[in-house]
Amino acid sequence: MTHRIAILGASGYTGAELVRLIATHPSMRIVALSGDRKAGMAMAEVFPFLRHLDLPPLQKIDEIDFSGVDLAFCALPHATSQAVIAALPRDLKVVDLSADFRLRDPAEYEKWYGKPHAAPDLQTEAVYGLTEFYRDEIRAARLVAGTGCNAATGQYALRPLIAAGVIDLDDIVIDLKAGVSGAGRSLKENLLHAELSEGTHTYSAGGKHRHLGEFDQEFAKVAGRPVLVQFTPHLLPMNRGILATVYVKGDPATVHATLAAAYGAEPFLQVLPFGALPSTRDIRGSNFVHIGVTGDRMPGRAIVVAVLDNLCKGSSGQAIQNANIMLGEDEAAGLMLAPVFP
């Protein structure tokens, strides 16, 4: 059975990545694409790398006939998804890739995003889209909220450790290194090649990054008590990839065993042998997560390193994985593409 797919916000990087992945998906077919400012253009004009595909032209959202759509991916900018999704047919399956429905608590949303939520009822309905931890809810969901890409990376490193109680919950540092495509196709001076290449710097340091809202929500849920982490992201001169170096207090061998046990059956989560640490280049362009654990010379301290591709497993790949579940397909359908190296 072929599912008819709409992508709202197809002119950004996550939208394009959805098209890339669906291009070889065995049971999804794109029937509508929206891109408000670029409505009327062909995708091949906006993204020439997709020119070999037979795709519908970009439309305005209100021009789309959703009666012929089985599932919509919503890849719109943060804060604009709320109103758009609220206006969609209530029986349409939706996977949202924005930040709008990640936080269940309206107060938390307002705290991190600076204004009240426009669709608090949908906020309650939405299921948090970290697939491996919300499969059952996703299967039953109509609206799934994709996670932050940084938030996903940190959670893959930490959730089983928090759940198992094998680390100190009050002393967790996530030092994260992120490629530039996570910032989207927006025109900002600090995203120019001449500014960014051959250098690195922190951003949103000091407990200010919005993905902390997701860490707080999810880790409290897992631990049954508040868990505050330190989180410092850095921007790196690379296009794709996130590497999170997570400093925890706990026995390294137990930390490794806990992660290996938790993820042993997961198709996309690969725990390396103890002492081996991963590289972003080994998951580039793919839906895989590589996780490594090593000890420190100081007993009782462990370092967990997790890597994923922010556009794929951190965003559009995750979205398709969730959509596969919502549509009753094999969860890995269309997502087993090998990473691209070099």
Residues with catalytic roles: 149
180 touches a second copy by CB under 8 A? yes
Stated as kind and residue range, the H or E segment containing 150 is helix 149-164
**Is the CA virtual torsion 151, 152, 154, 160 positive or negative?**
positive
Residues numbered 55-94 forming contacts with a second copy, rule: CB under 8 A: none
207 touches a second copy by CB under 8 A? yes
- Cβ(208)–Cβ(121) under 8 Å? no
Measured from the CB atom, the residue of 93 and 301 that comes closer to a second copy is 301
Considering only 98-106, 122-130, 158-166, 296-304, which stretch makes contact with a second copy by CB under 8 A? 296-304
304 touches a second copy by CB under 8 A? no
| 277 burial level (CB within 10 Å; 0-12, 13-18, 19+) | middle
30 touches a second copy by CB under 8 A? no
Binder of a second copy out of 36, 66, 92, 245 (CB under 8 A): 245
Binder of a second copy out of 197, 226, 253, 261 (CB under 8 A): 197
CA-wise closest residue to 172 among 104, 222, 242, 122: 222
Binder of a second copy out of 163, 277, 327, 333 (CB under 8 A): 277
8 touches a second copy by CB under 8 A? no
225 touches a second copy by CB under 8 A? no
Measured from the CB atom, the residue of 25 and 159 that comes closer to a second copy is 25
Tokens, residue 134: 């919300």
Measured from the CB atom, the residue of 3 and 209 that comes closer to a second copy is 209
Binder of a second copy out of 91, 115, 198, 225 (CB under 8 A): 198
- Cβ(307)–Cβ(243) under 8 Å? yes
Compute the distance between CA of residue 38 and CA of residue 57 in angstroms, rounded to an integer: 10
Considering only 82-90, 132-140, 227-235, 322-330, which stretch makes contact with a second copy by CB under 8 A? 227-235
- Cβ(313)–Cβ(336) under 8 Å? no
Binder of a second copy out of 188, 225, 264, 265 (CB under 8 A): 188
Compute the distance between CA of residue 272 and CA of residue 253 in angstroms, rounded to an integer: 13
CA-wise closest residue to 248 among 167, 338, 147, 157: 167
243 touches a second copy by CB under 8 A? yes
